[in-house]
């Protein structure tokens, strides 16, 4: 009886040690995974392509898609087919308004309103520049809040043949992460809150060549008359 009791106690001790050891190993492994997923400050967090649409009142909307997300995938994985807005798994959407400031020589500065910036994951992508809703289809995976920012546009002396530095505008803005939702992509679980826990700072280069974009954002809303094209990248 004493031998059986001793063996039972010894067995429980081994089982408890194994359980605690397993829990510690699991927790340590999880910490390593989370640490590995966070994008270092010196690295680019993502790259993207977008379009901005505005009306005569300076109210606008931004649509776009990601060509790479650090820790999730590059262009060989974040598209369903040949890369384009129609095949991008990850898209974004935001509203904004512009307030023109006095000219500073040949530079036209604008105050860009504070607001939100949302990222979506759509396992069946079908992005269409003429359909803004297609860029907010799928799962909302990250919601950011942004402060006011400054948009700098260099005026074109000759729109038909602008100089090199008159062809682009620049904009940067910090997007502060407010919330995120985990998602499964290519069999792996991700959470942008682990990748960029504080948020991202966007750096954007914008074409000064506008195009006609007479369409309605949603039924009953104002028409967006013009649009511009821009690529960009972000740092954590």
**C-alpha dihedral (73, 77, 78, 79), degrees to nearest 10:** 170
Does residue 62 share a domain with residue 20?
no
Query: Cα–Cα–Cα angle for 68, 143, 77, nearest 5°?
Result: 20
pLDDT given for residue 183 in this prediction: 95
Where is 17: in which H helix or E strand?
A: helix 2-37
Q: Are 209 and 105 in a shared domain?
A: yes
pLDDT of residue 118: 98
Task: Give how many domains the chain has, as a whole number.
Answer: 2
26 and 93 share one domain: no
- Is residue 85 located within the same domain as residue 145? yes
Q: Are residues 50 and 9 in the same domain?
A: no
Residues 67 and 17 in one domain: no
Q: In this structure, are strands 183-185 and 168-180 parallel, antiparallel, or unpaired?
A: unpaired
Please name the helix (run of DSSP H) or strand (run of DSSP E) that holds residue 148, with its range, or none.
Answer: none
Q: Residue 126 has what pLDDT? A: 95
Q: State which residues form the domain around 132.
A: 41-235
Closest by CA position to 150, among listed 195, 191, 113? 113
Is 50 in the same domain as 28?
no
Angle at 103 between CA 100 and CA 109, to 5 degrees: 45
Structure confidence at residue 139 (pLDDT): 98
- The token pair that represents 217 in the structure block: 């954002």
Buried-state track 13-44, b at ≥16 Cβ within 10 A, e below 16: eeeeeeeeeeeeeeeeeeeeeeeebbbeeeee
pTM summary value: 0.79
Q: Are residues 230 and 114 in the same domain?
A: yes
Do both 221 and 116 map to the same domain?
A: yes
Residue 3 confidence (pLDDT): 38
Instruction: Report CA 163 to chain centroid distance, whole Å.
Output: 31
User: What's residue 10's pLDDT?
Assistant: 46
Which residues of the chain are under the pLDDT cut of 50? 1-36, 216-223, 225
């Amino acid at each position: 009886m004493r031998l059986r009791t001793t063996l039972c106690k010894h067995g429980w001790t081994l089982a408890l040690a194994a359980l605690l050891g397993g829990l510690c190993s699991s927790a340590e492994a999880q910490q390593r995974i989370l640490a590995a997923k966070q994008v270092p400050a010196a690295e680019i967090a993502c790259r993207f392509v977008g379009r901005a649409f505005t009306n005569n009142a300076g109210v606008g909307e931004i649509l776009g898609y990601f060509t790479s997300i650090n820790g999730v995938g590059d262009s060989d994985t974040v598209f369903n087919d040949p890369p384009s807005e129609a095949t991008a798994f990850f898209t974004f959407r935001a509203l904004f308004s512009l307030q023109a400031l006095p000219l500073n020589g040949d530079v036209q500065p604008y105050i860009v309103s504070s607001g939100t910036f949302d990222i979506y994951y759509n396992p069946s992508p079908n992005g269409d520049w003429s359909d803004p809703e297609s860029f907010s289809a799928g799962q909302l995976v990250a919601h950011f809040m942004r402060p006011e920012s400054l948009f700098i546009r260099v005026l074109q002396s000759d729109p038909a043949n602008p100089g090199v530095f008159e062809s682009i505008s620049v904009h940067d803005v910090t997007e502060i992460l407010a919330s995120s939702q985990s998602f499964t992509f290519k069999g792996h679980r991700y959470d942008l809150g682990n990748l960029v826990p504080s948020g991202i700072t966007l750096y954007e280069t914008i074409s000064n060549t506008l195009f006609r974009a007479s369409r309605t954002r949603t039924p009953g809303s104002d028409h967006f008359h013009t649009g511009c094209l821009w690529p960009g990248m972000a740092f954590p």
